[in-house]
A and B are shown apart, each in its own frame.
Chain A
């Protein structure tokens, strides 16, 4: 397996591989998002309790899940980058962080907009909301650290260490926030814990989940490709790729 993986430690091979994946990922992401969202918005039945406002779930839940998934992915990449010193993995940290941050922001925004009609307030210091907000801070910290360094290699390594420190903290933060929430007993929201969803609502949600997963993967591939080009800008293959063969001669 190592022999098979080895070429992808080099920028160009990874760039080509991602180039093969990207169109398929992008097309299937667009298709499944379109189908899932149209289905969820127009065809799924309204909720007996929340009416039509529950339709926000079709973007809120996928964004929340993959914001956490992206963070885990980023931490694993950081571990690979730090242990095996693989440069592609270092660049992947920079590629994943903005995507994850946007997903986290989206989940917070949709959560707030959903909260207003359901709980009567845009922001509730609910455990989920709070830990999601902290996740956004962690993402922003990783991004800020990465962009603070002029030498992007050092920046990526530093950001990777921070991502790893963060991932050790994530469960602690998560449970402390839950615990804090039950302790302060402000307004424990149990609206989420309704009986399991009806199949007619669940299917579009699953399609949306798939769509967000593919979208996340496609964005990461795309950004990683750009990151590879940026880091190897002085190499001939990058110049060929960006400017084109005919103009070179």
Chain B
């Protein structure tokens, strides 16, 4: 352990602001990347459902046309 107290750990020998800014920015960047990938999956599910609904509608319409 390089620090004797939690207070010291936060202060980082006077460089606390820079160290925590750098780590915070990094996690923000990587976190956004992860978040975007999570959202992407949801978007894909929605797009897929939309696509299938459209196909179904088309198929129904075709059946109607044929029966007419």
Contact = CB atoms under 8 A, between A and B. Distances in A.
- Verify whether A and B have any Cβ pair under 8 Å: yes
Interface of A: 37, 41-46, 51-53, 55-56, 59-60, 63, 98-99, 102, 105-106, 109-110, 113-114, 116-117, 215, 219, 222-223, 226, 229-230, 233-234, 238-239, 242-243
**Main DSSP-derived SS at the A contact region:** helix
25 contacts: A41-B9, A41-B23, A42-B1, A42-B9, A51-B14, A52-B12, A52-B15, A56-B19, A60-B22, A109-B26, A110-B26, A117-B18, A215-B30, A219-B37, A222-B37, A230-B44, A230-B47, A233-B47, A234-B51, A239-B48, A239-B51, A239-B52, A242-B45, A242-B48, A243-B45
Contacts of A98: 33, 36
Interface residues of B, number: 32
B19 A219 contact: no
A226 B22 contact: no
Contact of A99 (B19, B33, B44): B33
Contacts of B47: 230, 233
Interface string B26-64: 100110111011001100110111011000000000000
Contacts of A102: 29-30, 32-33
B26 A59 contact: yes
Contacts of A43: 1-2
A176 B18 CA distance: 31
A121 to B, nearest CB: 13
Contact of B13 (A46, A215, A222, A226): A46
Contact of A55 (B19, B30, B36, B44): B19
**Main DSSP-derived SS at the B contact region:** helix
Contacts of B3: 42
B40 A226 contact: yes
Contact of A243 (B23, B32, B48): B48
Nearest to B51: A233
Given A56-B18, A114-B18, A243-B52, A233 B44 contact: yes
Contacts of B32: 102
A53 B37 contact: no
Given A110-B26, A219-B37, A243-B45, 15 more contacts: A51-B12, A53-B19, A55-B19, A59-B23, A60-B22, A63-B26, A105-B29, A109-B26, A109-B29, A113-B22, A219-B34, A222-B37, A226-B40, A239-B52, A242-B49
Nearest to B8: A52
Contacts of A215: 30
Contacts of A230: 44, 47
B32 to A, nearest CB: 8
A223 B52 CA distance: 23
